[in-house]
Amino acid sequence: MSGRSFFQIPGPTNVPGRVLQAMGRPLINHRGPEFAGLLADVTSGLKYVYQTVAGEVVVFPGSGTGGLEAALVNAVPPGSRLVGVNQGAFSNRWADMALKLGYRVETIELEWGGPLLPEQVVEPLLHDGDREIRAVLITHNETSTGVTNDLEKICRAVRASGHPALILVDAVSSLGCMDLRFDEWGIDVAVTGAQKGLMCPPGLAIVAISPGAAEAARMNTYPRFFWDIPAAVERLKKGQCPCTPATSLLFGLREALVMIREEGLERILARHAMLAEGVRRGILGMGLSLLVNGAEASNSVTAVRVPGGVDVKAFMGTARDRYRIVLGGGLGKLEGKIFRIGHMGYLNETEVLAIISGIEMSMARCGAEIQPGTGVRACEEVFFKAAS
């Protein structure tokens, strides 16, 4: 079919032409002054998005998964007790990673699709009289379910408890899409990847670390070489990376961060909230139901329940092959029960309306009772209201 494709999985996301063009420039010496300027620009832009002045931000070649491992092996000594969460595929994966790395993990078990409440995080800390728990692992936005945890309230509750546990945050599908105030909320480590809200291809693991967590990392005896954050911070002072950097990706990330500054973080967050609300209203308007709705619904990804009588693989195949809309499927215990719509990064109202229309037509072709135009109309109402 002719026309553009709509790449709406929950990441990687659409990459702007400006970013692709920036990545195509010739390579430079990664030990030279030009690279030092590139790295300084990237670091400054990332601090703007993380909303940090006190923290350091380092970039590794790799994925968000690597960044999450880096957070653990730098901030937390070997064999320490941690509090993890199972509220979806990715929060559970982080807790499982910690177990495989030799940590003792006390996991908060939640229904997939439900939010993590501050009191649920604080409860094990209040019972930890010997202060053995060294960190809590919080997933800001659970990509597999489309639920966003109230990170501000969770951080404030942990600090108010008086417990010294570090707060480690998975911000892979939240940074650049929803508010994350690293300094103000007292976050110790926050990890993201370049391929979601930051509008770049996969291949960069990005870690912000507070002064307190950086000191903990310097004292930590956990063996690491590639994921050594103190070493990365020291080389950053010289305008370098400890290993060969993904220079072309850094060119792209610098351009993406320029675009973010041009639009302004506040406007970007408002745009994501508006587009997400349009998606949710559109889905409900066509008669489908959401896995998550209300205040905890994500501004970067929406999970939709598959209606009875519709084969999810046939639906997603129709959306892909006939209407060129690529959607995400359910993961783990939600496989076959939901599909997921990514709506983060480089996206606007017109594109969202096209996506809702394509979902309507695909569902109708796969046997769902859909009244044509109802979802699009409900989505449009959100955008009209926002523009008035």
- Segment 355-363 shows an average pLDDT of 98
Q: How far apart are CA 101 and CA 117, in angstroms?
A: 26
Sequence length of the chain is 388
The reply to whether the predicted model has a pTM over 0.95 is yes
Q: Does residue 45 sit in helix, strand or coil?
A: helix
CATH number of the structural domain 265-387? 3.90.1150.10
Bridge partners of residue 170, in order along the sequence: 139, 191
Q: Is the dihedral of CA 33, 39, 40, 41 positive or negative?
A: positive
Q: How many CB atoms lie within 10 A of CB 167?
A: 23
Confidence of residue 277 (pLDDT cuts 50, 70, 90): very high
CB atoms inside a 10 Å sphere around CB 134 = 21
Answer yes or no: same fold for 17-262 and 265-387: no
DSSP label at 83?
E
* Other CB atoms within 10 Å distance of the CB of residue 6: 20
Tell me which fold the domain 17-262 belongs to.
Answer: Aspartate Aminotransferase; domain 2 (3.40.640)
The pLDDT confidence band at residue 2, using thresholds 50, 70 and 90, is confident
End-to-end CA distance of the chain: 36
pLDDT of 159 reads 98
The chain-wide mean pLDDT, for the chain, equals 97
pLDDT digits (tens, 9 = 90+) for 130-179: 999 999 999 999 999 999 999 999 999 999 999 999 999 999 999 999 99
- What distance in Å separates the CA atoms of residue 203 and residue 59, rounded to the nearest whole number? 10
Domains of the chain: which residue ranges? 17-262, 265-387
Residue 1 has pLDDT above 70, yes or no: no
Helix (H), strand (E) at residue 326: strand 325-329
According to the model, what pLDDT value does residue 388 have?
Answer: 81
Q: Strand 325-329 and strand 6-8: pairing?
A: parallel
- Separation between Cα atoms, residue 95 and residue 197, nearest integer Å: 24
Distances, alpha carbon 188 to alpha carbons 45, 59, 204, 216, 232, in Å: 19, 16, 20, 10, 17
The residue among 385, 377, 338 whose CA lies nearest residue 356 is 377
Identify the band that residue 57 occupies on the pLDDT scale cut at 50, 70 and 90.
very high
Percentage of the residues of the chain whose pLDDT score is greater than 70: 100
d(CA 25, CA 8): 28
What does each C-alpha distance from 182 to 152, 158, 169 come to in angstroms?
10, 15, 10
- Tens digit of pLDDT for each residue in 195-253? 999 999 999 999 999 999 999 999 999 999 999 999 999 999 999 999 999 999 999 99
211-219 vs 229-236: helix axis angle to the nearest 10? 120
pLDDT of residue 307 exceeding 90:
yes
Q: How far apart are CA 49 and CA 36, in angstroms?
A: 20
Q: What is the pLDDT of residue 352?
A: 98
Model confidence pLDDT, tens digit, residues 84-129: 999 999 999 999 999 999 999 999 999 999 999 999 999 999 999 9
Summarised one tens digit per residue, pLDDT across range 174-187 is: 999 999 999 999 99
pLDDT, residue 344, reads: 98
Percent of the chain with pLDDT over 90: 98
Alpha carbon distance 30, 246 (integer Å): 9
Task: For helices 211-219 and 64-75, give the axis angle rounded to 10 degrees.
Answer: 70
